[in-house]
Amino acid sequence: MNKKYMALGLTAALTTSLLAACASTEEPTTSGDNEASEESKVVNVYSSRHYDVDKELYKQFEEETGVKVNVVEGKGEELLERLNTEGANTEADLFITADAGNLHQAKENGHLQAVDSDVLESNIPEKYRDTDNEWFGLTKRARVIVYAKDRVNPEDLSTYEALTEEQWNGKVLVRPSENMYNISLLASFIEVNGVDQAKEWAEGLVNNFARDPQGNDRDQAKAVVAGEGDVAIMNTYYMGLMLNSEDAEEKKVAEELGVFFPNQDTTGTHVNISGIAMTKASKNSENAKKLMEFMSDPSAQEQFASANYEYPVNESVEPNELLKSWGDFKEQDINLSVLGENQQEAIRLFNEAGWK
């Protein structure tokens, strides 16, 4: 296996620099046994989400419950490594991160515990929950085809698979293969199409790359507008953020792009989540459960949707007006737990396909 993927399957020692990268303005509060921690009225969160809406929701939760929310921020993989190193000694009560694949890794490494909550089960559809209730989706985003409005007729777009055809040779832009969004995308194809077709897709897309994969989703959008390629694979919330950016150039880029939901007549568009999980070592489990339920409530879900251009997982809440303007779409009919279960197979296929 390519060395750059080993971190996805193996735990590693956390370095001093990684600890520094994960630090935030507040470190978790140390508490004793569960009874003492409840009296201290705190909940400690490790989160890879860095959005203002999250901070506002924590503030509202504090005001409503009197429970102080302490947050350590960092990238998802960094926080996973921190959990690996701290083990049962972690002060984290909750782990919040993007992508079901990352949540699956935390579960596989033994860091999570099942949460029994009628509220969570009522607010969050089964497909966005771990099969053992060890993690729960908070928000969702679709991985779509973004295209140059001046060069591409959306009627020429149809499926992810069609991007491997000759007409898109040298025109497709996408992130590197080690990106978890892409790993989960291919993992979903393994589930809905089988291993052979998933491998064929990866190989075909490599043949149609406009350049070697590089950068994040925003970089793909900018490259399309710059003429390096005609289409890119991106998450919808990036388009929402760019269209409403205070950066005039970034906003201009997004305005020149169209959003297309692929596979509407076949298997459906790939959807992933950011989600929340309670750590097995939680010393404030009741407070942690309260925050989980609070984040799934319609009021919180509406704020996620309107402020960060994410789709709410709670079906009683509608997307914001921008997301509605892109239209309704059919989702892949899978439980997102399979994204983690098929993760290692997806990595193998990427390696075999030569996707850098």
Express each pLDDT in 42-55 by its tens digit: 999 999 999 999 99
pLDDT on residue 5? 41
Least confident stretch, 34-38, 46-50, 331-335: 34-38
Q: Phi and psi (nearest 5°) for 275?
A: -145, 180
User: Which residue matches tokens 């989540």?
Assistant: 273
Does one domain contain both 228 and 314?
A: no
User: Which residue matches tokens 């990036």?
Assistant: 238
- Mean pLDDT, range 327-341, rounded to an integer: 97
Domain that holds residue 109: 3-140+273-318
- pLDDT-derived band of residue 28, with 50, 70 and 90 as boundaries? low
pLDDT on residue 40? 75
Q: What is the pTM of this model?
A: 0.87
Express each pLDDT in 153-207 by its tens digit: 999 999 999 999 999 999 999 999 999 999 999 999 999 999 999 999 999 999 9
Does one domain contain both 14 and 135?
A: yes
Number of domains in the chain: 2
pLDDT on residue 34? 45
β-bridge partners, 42: 68
Does one domain contain both 163 and 288?
A: no
Q: Which two tokens stand for residue 352?
A: 């075999």
Express each pLDDT in 280-314 by its tens digit: 999 999 999 999 999 999 999 999 888 889 999 99
pLDDT of 347 strictly over 80: yes
Q: Per DSSP, which regions of 21-86 are E strands?
A: 42-47, 68-73
State the CATH number of the domain containing residue 14: 3.40.190.10
Does one domain contain both 108 and 226?
A: no
CA angle 240, 167, 220 (to 5 degrees): 30
pLDDT of 235 strictly over 50: yes
pLDDT on residue 37? 42
Does one domain contain both 147 and 261?
A: yes
pLDDT on residue 306? 84
pLDDT of 2 strictly over 50: no
Task: Spell out the long-range contacts of 200-205 with Cβ–Cβ below 8 A and sequence spacing 24 or more.
Answer: 200/164, 201/160, 201/161, 201/164, 202/349, 202/350, 202/352, 202/353, 202/355, 203/164, 203/352, 203/353, 203/354, 204/161, 204/163, 204/164, 204/165, 205/163, 205/164, 205/172, 205/174, 205/353, 205/355
Does one domain contain both 147 and 209?
A: yes
